[in-house]
Structure formats: structure tokens, C-alpha cells
Amino acid sequence: MAVGALIGAYQEDDRGGLRALLPLAGRTLLEYQARCAAAAAAAPIVVVVERVPQAMQDAFERLRSDGIGVFPVSDVTEAVSRFEAGSSILLIGDGIAPPAQLVIALGEEPESAVAIVPDDEQHEMFERIDAGSRWAGVALVDAHLLGSTAAMLGDWDLQSTLLRRSIQEGARRLPAVEQGGEPLLAGSGDELADFQRDLVQSSRGKRDDAASRYILPPIEDFATERLMQNISRLEGAVEAKDKDIARLRGLLAAREVASQ
């Protein structure tokens, strides 16, 4: 069955910018989400936007230059037209930083499924589904639901309404921790720091899978760039220290001459 992806990129972060543009490993959160979808063999990858600032346009261009086709849409009807009849759609929530394996696992599900996290204090920012669980930000839904949802959406939020309708139609609920790990719902760049550290750490291992092809290359570039910056800083510090030593030696020599 064909699988596409639908990514939300219109909600604002804590500072009034777009969550989708939060920095992550030298790129943006949106680029990471799109790469996760590509690793799950999703095509097309449709991004729902309300506006496309230059930073987002730059992100789209970087993805396309790496062979990842993304299609920004501001109209739900246009989004519907991008997907084949009878296909499934990987829904990735706005501001969600999911483990790649979670997205890949949902994409391999034979029927509609929703990744969930517990309804507790640790996950209070995630959207509640029922008394015991919240949406983990990743789901697999039927494309026909997108069309029928578009017809009755009104002022309702697209991703939330699509999620609710999928659950009403009996989508399986899968604990995220059992499907590849729990995601992060980011409201600021600072909240992505630990997630970024884990990504950089994972790039150091040898892998031969979809994650290696789509997700790791920009992270490896980012890690290499940071390493080179650290080396440059150390070299600069050493050079400054050598100059300080030379200066001190000059002062000592001057004092010796003055005391004679």
C-alpha cells in the first residue's frame, strides 16, 4: 500500500516563531521530520503551512537538493489532491521530534494506528486522547479520512480533527515506547538540546538502513562542523597562551635590564 506523509508546520513556539523552524542539528525540526518520513518510504511529503518565511523556503530547498520531495500547501483541499486514493498517510504533528524508528514502525503498520504516550505529568503537553493516554504525535491514517475531514473542517485544527476521526474509526493504539521510543514535543530550541545530543551520538555508530541514508548525513555534517569549531577554538586558545607567555617573558627581561 502506498504511504504518504502529512506534516503540520503552522503552530508557533514560545517566542512567536514557527515550531517547525526550531534549530536541530544544524538544520530545522521540519527538515528532520521530513527526513524521518522519507526514511519510512513516504511519498509525497506534504507540509501544511499558513505562511512560508524565507527560513522555511530554504529548508524546502535543502530537502529537495537531497532528493526529498516536499510540497507545502495552505489549503486542505490541495493537500487531499496530493495523495492517491486508497493510500495511507503518516501524520506527524507540529513540533514533534520523533525517533526515526517510531515513524518507520508506524509506516509499516498494515492498518490505521496511533502512537500513544501515558497521560501523566511528564506528557502533559501532548494532546489527550482519553483518560489514560495522549497522542505521541505520530499516526498512520487512511487517505479517505483526509478528504472527508476537509469537507467538514471549518475552523477546527486539521491534525487534531484527523487524529480524532481516525480513533473513532477504530485505529489501533500503540505505545510509542514499544515502537521505537518516545518523541519530544518541542516548544523552544532549548528543549531540543538533549534530543540533538542523542542524534549526534547515534551518528557515530555504523549503520546501513534508511536512517543512515536520509537522517544521519546532515547530522554527521553538523557534528563535523562543531568538531572543527572546537579545534579552531583550541588552536586559538593555544596561540593566545603562547602570546601571553611571550609577553610575560618580555616583561621579565625588561625588568632584569632595568634592575642592572
CATH code, 66: 3.90.550.10
> What's the pLDDT score for residue 153?
75
- Structural domain including 139 reads 3-188
Q: Are 98 and 66 in contact (CB under 8 A)?
A: no
In a domain, 99, yes or no: yes
In a domain, 230, yes or no: no
Confidence of residue 149 (pLDDT cuts 50, 70, 90): confident
In a domain, 231, yes or no: no
Higher pLDDT, 75 or 96: 96
Mean pLDDT, rounded, for 128-150 = 93
In a domain, 21, yes or no: yes
> What's the pLDDT score for residue 110?
93
Residue-wise DSSP of 114-129: EEEEESSGGGTTSPB-
In a domain, 213, yes or no: no
Range in 13-27, 33-47, 164-178, 198-212 the model is least confident about: 198-212
In a domain, 243, yes or no: no
Domain count for the chain, please give it: 1
Mean pLDDT, rounded, for 37-59 = 94
pLDDT at 206 over 60: no
pLDDT at 1 over 70: no
In a domain, 109, yes or no: yes
**pTM of the full structure:** 0.80
In a domain, 209, yes or no: no
CA angle 217, 26, 13 (to 5 degrees): 130
Mean pLDDT, rounded, for 186-204 = 80
Average pLDDT, the chain: 84
| Cβ partners under 8 Å of residue 181, min gap 6 | 99, 101, 102
Mean pLDDT, rounded, for 79-87 = 90
> What's the pLDDT score for residue 231?
46
> What's the pLDDT score for residue 163?
93
